[in-house]
Structure 1
């Protein structure tokens, strides 16, 4: 492993779009920007940032709606573009022409959007347990075909209301299956793994800003199963396929090399996700499921792979690595293995 003694500094950075709280390692070197996912913050990357080799400068922002960055509404009708534009504004403020990005879960969606809009700013892209290019929920095959015309079963109304309320209450208990601590330990990672910085990571989860404008967002009622369709504001709507689609990444010319790292036992982003209404309906956990023909489990991994195969056919380069006995957060669960994949990629693309 690399030297783990690098110091992480926390700083507020005013940009043209919003004030960003960020974790920083080093002042010089090629920039590496770490982008967290849903219901977390830059704190999820702190331990990894400490292992960043000399010659690299680490930047991990709290994205809007999370951590201690300024609260501003997420306009979900732009998909992930609010986040992509926030990242671009941060790069401009720091005078960074290009960076390698390391993006986790929903963060991968943010950076795939940035790559589509501004490929010249992305020197390389590491996506960890990435959000499907067709968003989260509401699609039924590897091509991202909608289950319903209104994309019912995705968006702000799909968040578990007890989990949302416990987030809002800053609940640290283990009394319910839907407590933030139990969701983190049971779904963000593969049990029985427990991170040594569990309390700090739980702080990060609980720093999620709960509202209709941020997390999980608003929703609309639907006549289609399961009865809710995407709204127009907030994180879960920004991930909904009504507004979010980065499958055009496959058509990029001279796009960034991409390293895709995922856990074999991911409970969140998979073809059998415990957070997907199609799979939950098939399990009998949500009544009224209309069946496989109308609403099968969303094949999230298969969707990503098909887009990546199209990317490769168009001249792009990607590599998929599956870590066994690993859940949704390989960089936390298999730190050495993740580090050993990351560093050669950084060294190859720091230009």
Structure 2
């Protein structure tokens, strides 16, 4: 508006820049609130009247047309600002509800469970009000510490609802069932009643008992990363591939439990594919195994925070998918 005014005062009425004063309220309606739009609209109308008088157009058809243009654009900008603010308020409300639902669904896990220390990290993808279906839980049962890390196909409230079904079934089964296979069967039955079409949930279950091993049961989920006290780093891949949860109704055999060494000083990182499939601007995936050194911090939460920070630096921007991580560390001594 200042530029238009300066040019009009310099060049005179022959150029016909007077209607361009309406650019002020037009942009105000796109970026500001309704009060700011009204204020700039009033200033625009005043400028239009002033310039019309200066250019000798006051009371003429050109002056009236310019004034009508400014007033019309101001009214349109005001309507756009009011509508945009309403939508922003609705979206903020949805986001708030989504965050509360996510916190209720993913309860804080215990920082310590017997000989184990636990830390979790959950990073939501920046996608309006979307909330994801990544899930995790740790349960102390009579047979040891049991945990689950999983990823529901899809996003939004449907994914959260499915995650709630999985976590509810796991919390009950992890305490009652004699082994992980029975826990997995309970999850399958719960999802069979809930899921429709070809929906599924990838998940890995783990149990740490009295010995120096961890028992794993993998339903098509990315293999956990083991970092031994002696520096050995490896993925704890299952002996055979298995379908995700929710697809067991097709009659294929379920996964078989397998044991891996887990002794004092060792740690295991469970994660969802939002971690390993995070891409850098150059297109490269996040090299989790190469970045295992970031887990060296004595504090598990600080170690996991370092991995998360490294992940964000790798993508140089918001994640395209939710990323959940759970670090299980065996205490020394």
Question: Which interval holds the TM-score relative to the shorter structure?
Answer: under 0.3
Q: TM-score, normalised by structure 2?
A: 0.27
Larger-gyration structure (1/2): 2
Higher normalized contact order (CA 8 Å, seq sep 6+, divided by chain length):
1
Q: TM-score when scaled to structure 1?
A: 0.26
